[in-house]
Amino acid sequence: DIQMTQSPSTLSASVGDRVTITCRASQSINNWLAWYQQKPGKAPKVLIYLASSLESGVPSRFSGSGSGTEFTLTISSLQPDDFATYYCQQYNPYSPWTFGQGTKVEIK
């Protein structure tokens, strides 16, 4: 199975900060990676799919990069609405899918 290691688990930041979250896959997943944002009591919302494709309606301050085993989600300038928990997910079509452990972005 493909394991996803996400870091950090918690991140304290201020409005306007540049924030980076990393996800590492235990084996190559090409670009089969999605990033989600989840707020309490709500379903996860996809931000990025295929590692770097921005979902329609998602602000351009969110970006994704990487391929193979190393991926990053970057928020270029953190906004008040961005304080939430973020998850990566690999969706390699030839294996079971898995999520990272999550990164909680907190107000510093």
Partner 1 sequence: QLRLQESGPGLVKPSETLSLTCTVSGASISSSSHYWGWIRQPPGKGLEWIGRIYYSGNTYYNPSLKSRVTISVDTSKNQLSLKLDSVTAADTAVYYCARAVRFWGQGTLVTVSS
Find the shortest distance in angstroms from Cβ 53 to partner 1: 10
- Distance set, CA 36 to CA 29, 53, 76, 85 (Å): 17, 12, 16, 8
* Binding segment (CB under 8 A) for partner 1, from list 11-19, 23-31, 71-79, 96-104: 96-104
The residue written with tokens 């084996």 in the block is 27
Tokens found for residue 33: 């990676």
Q: Which is nearer to partner 1, 10 or 77 (CB)?
A: 10
Tokens found for residue 92: 């390699």
Options 20, 22, 74, 98; binder of partner 1; rule CB under 8 A: 98
Tokens found for residue 38: 């989840």
* Binding segment (CB under 8 A) for partner 1, from list 23-31, 57-65, 68-76, 98-106: 98-106
Could you report how far apart the first and last alpha carbons of the chain are, in Å?
Answer: 36
**How far apart are the C-alpha atoms of 20 and 80, rounded to whole Å?**
16
* Binding segment (CB under 8 A) for partner 1, from list 12-20, 39-47, 58-66, 67-75: 39-47
* Interface ranges with partner 1 (CB under 8 A): 1, 34, 36, 38, 42-46, 49, 55, 87, 89, 91, 93, 95-102
